């Protein structure tokens, strides 16, 4: 029998945000399929969306005192109340503290990104689907060593039932209607995290001011 939860839309009431190992060390700077600056921007974009919609959010680190380094400091300042699961187990889903934190959210839809797509993201995403969760893997807030590795990771996750998406799709599905009270906050996130959007709005404001003189 088909589980209806896999066809429900994302909402602020049914979703949790999991940001896995977005650290400033060697893994980030080994990524080549996406510019590390853009990856970091998109991870912070997700964090700001989670804050706007008050989504239960979990942060993780892998060996933060070693070469992987600490979490992005901006993540900590954006989500100061989010629990952080420190671990040395490679697949976050094999860490009982991580799974317990996910269970405590009470949510069955997991929006998940990891600093590396093929390991930090793919391993727990596939494991969570096997455990009965509906997983949205955010590809542009994750990265890997080359496009071959990225494409292989996406194919593997898709075959396992993970939904591969991008950051703006997550934001838009949660917002769903520009008449909702979160619209101004989402607009500000778009201005901050989508430079072209901000430039267009600035140009429109400049034109309005010019026409009103």
24 and 58 inside one domain = yes
User: Would residue 170 count as lying in a domain?
Assistant: yes
| pLDDT tens, per residue, the chain with 213 residues | 567 767 789 999 999 999 999 999 878 888 999 999 999 999 999 999 999 999 999 999 998 888 888 999 999 999 999 999 999 999 999 999 999 999 999 999 999 999 999 999 999 999 999 999 999 999 999 999 999 999 999 999 999 999 999 999 999 999 999 999 999 999 899 988 987 765 555 444 444 444 455
Residues 148 and 191 in one domain: no
Q: 45 in helix, strand or coil?
A: helix
CA distance 65 to 22: 14
Active-site residues, by number, are: 120
Q: What pLDDT, on a 0 to 100 scale, did the predictor assign at position 122?
A: 98
* pLDDT for the residue numbered 30: 86
Residues 168 and 124 in one domain: yes
Cα(212)–Cα(201) distance, rounded to whole angstroms? 17
20 vs 124: CA distance, rounded Å: 9
Residue 59 and residue 19 in contact, taking contact as beta carbons nearer than 8 Å = yes
Same domain membership, residue 137 and residue 65: yes
- Answer whether residue 171 is part of any domain: yes
- CATH number, domain with residue 162: 3.40.50.850
With beta carbons less than 8 A apart as the criterion, state whether 51 and 63 touch: no
Same domain, 202 and 162: no
Q: Is residue 5 in a domain?
A: no
47 & 127 share domain = yes
The pLDDT, as a whole number, for residue 26 is: 73
Same domain, 165 and 181: no
Query: Does 6 map to a domain?
Result: no
152 within some domain:
yes
Which residue do the tokens 């500000």 mark? 188
Residue located via tokens 């860490």: 95
The reply to whether 181 falls in a domain is yes
Residues of the domain holding 156? 12-175
């Amino acid at each position: 029998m088909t589980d209806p939860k896999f066809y429900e839309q994302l909402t602020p009431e049914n979703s949790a945000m999991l940001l896995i190992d977005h650290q400033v060390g060697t893994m980030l700077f080994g990524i080549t399929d996406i510019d590390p600056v853009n990856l970091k921007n998109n991870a912070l974009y997700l964090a700001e969306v989670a804050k706007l919609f008050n989504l239960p959010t979990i942060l993780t680190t892998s060996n933060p005192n070693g070469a992987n380094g600490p979490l992005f400091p901006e993540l900590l300042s954006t989500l100061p109340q989010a629990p952080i699961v420190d671990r040395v187990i490679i697949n976050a889903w094999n860490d009982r503290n991580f799974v317990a934190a996910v269970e405590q959210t009470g949510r069955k839809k997991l929006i998940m990104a990891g600093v590396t797509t093929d390991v930090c993201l793919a391993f727990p995403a596939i494991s969570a689907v096997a455990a009965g969760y509906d997983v949205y893997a955010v590809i542009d807030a994750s990265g890997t060593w080359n496009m071959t590795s990225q494409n292989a990771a996406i194919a593997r996750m898709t075959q396992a039932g993970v939904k591969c998406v991008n950051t703006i799709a997550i934001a838009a599905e949660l917002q769903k209607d520009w008449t909702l009270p979160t619209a101004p906050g989402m607009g500000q996130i778009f201005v901050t995290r989508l430079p072209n959007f901000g430039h267009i709005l600035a140009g429109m404001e400049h034109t309005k001011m010019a026409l009103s003189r």
